[in-house]
């Protein structure tokens, strides 16, 4: 088997696993090619990957091509990638990392050895709770400038954005348990989850999505 699919929501965890995996396979760093995409992966991206795949290793007997498929991949691109997976070079390991298998066609999944990494349970420390409470108060009833500053600060890194949204969702659920008659918490949690899904599944600018959530949220709608 020359093709592997690493499944985890934590991109850093995937990177760490892949790094250790390739060390075990004795793949020299110069023979590792990483393909990561800020936007949806298209057919032209796959063509560029194909150009990399046909190259011979520089230092060792084998090389590795890593594809970070954490954003949307067009159907055309997936069909092109499928052709690569059907006849990979004997000296090449192809490693695809993704947050969930459902993002990929079943035909692609069937061509790979699936490695699902255990997800870490997200915990909220006392410091986290204090910070989240302060931010939640600003989001619910603070000034526009302060809300925009929060969106700017938490949207600098996509993985950190997801982690913040997940922690805030956990925190708001707890607030909802403590204040089950306060509709602003249930309404905000619903909008928070929608925003998370949009950022996760589309190419929307995450800062703009957060600004829209914070500025347009009506606690009683």
Q: In terms of domains, do 18 and 97 share one?
A: yes
pLDDT tens track for 190-199 = 899 889 888 8
Nearest partner of 79 among 98, 104, 103, judged by Cα: 104
Q: Is residue 130 part of a domain?
A: yes
Do 103 and 150 sit in the same domain of this protein?
no
pTM to 2 decimals? 0.59
- For residues 124-139, give the mean pLDDT: 91
What does the mean pLDDT of the chain come to?
87
Distances (CA, A) of 54 to 86, 94, 97: 14, 12, 21
The per-residue pLDDT for range 68-122, each reduced to its tens digit, is 988 778 889 999 999 888 888 888 999 999 988 888 999 999 999 999 987 667 7
13 shares a domain with 96: yes
pLDDT of residue 4: 94
What's 66's domain CATH number?
3.40.50.300
103 in the same domain as 11: yes
Residues 196 and 137 in one domain: yes
Q: Residue 139: which pLDDT band, with cuts at 50, 70 and 90?
A: very high
82 CA to centre of own chain = 22
State which residues form the domain around 188: 126-216
In a domain, 35, yes or no: yes
- Identify the pLDDT of residue 7: 92
Q: Is 29 exposed, middle or buried (0-12, 13-18, 19+ CB in 10 A)?
A: exposed
- Least Cα distance to 171 among 153, 189, 151 occurs for 189
221 part of a folded domain: no
| Structural domain count of the chain | 2
């Amino acid at each position: 088997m020359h093709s592997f699919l690493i499944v985890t929501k934590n991109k850093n965890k995937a990177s760490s696993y892949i790094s250790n995996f390739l060390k075990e396979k004795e793949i020299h760093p110069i023979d590792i090619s990483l393909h990561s995409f800020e936007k949806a992966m298209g057919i032209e991206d796959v063509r560029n990957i194909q150009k990399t795949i046909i190259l011979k290793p520089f230092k060792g007997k084998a090389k590795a091509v890593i594809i970070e498929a954490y954003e949307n991949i067009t159907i055309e691109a997936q069909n092109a990638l499928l052709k690569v997976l059907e006849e990979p070079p004997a000296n090449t390991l192809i490693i695809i990392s993704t947050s969930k298998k459902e993002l990929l066609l079943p035909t692609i999944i069937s061509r790979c050895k699936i490695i699902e990494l255990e997800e870490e349970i997200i915990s909220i420390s006392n410091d986290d709770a204090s910070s989240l409470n302060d931010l939640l108060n600003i989001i619910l009833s603070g000034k526009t400038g302060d809300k925009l500053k929060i969106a700017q600060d938490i949207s600098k890194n996509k993985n950190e954005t997801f982690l913040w949204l997940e922690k805030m969702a956990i925190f708001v659920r707890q607030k909802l348990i403590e204040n089950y008659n306060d509709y602003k918490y249930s309404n905000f949690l619903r909008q928070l989850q929608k925003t998370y899904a949009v950022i996760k599944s589309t190419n929307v600018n995450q800062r703009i999505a957060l600004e829209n959530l914070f500025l347009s949220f009506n606690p009683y709608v």
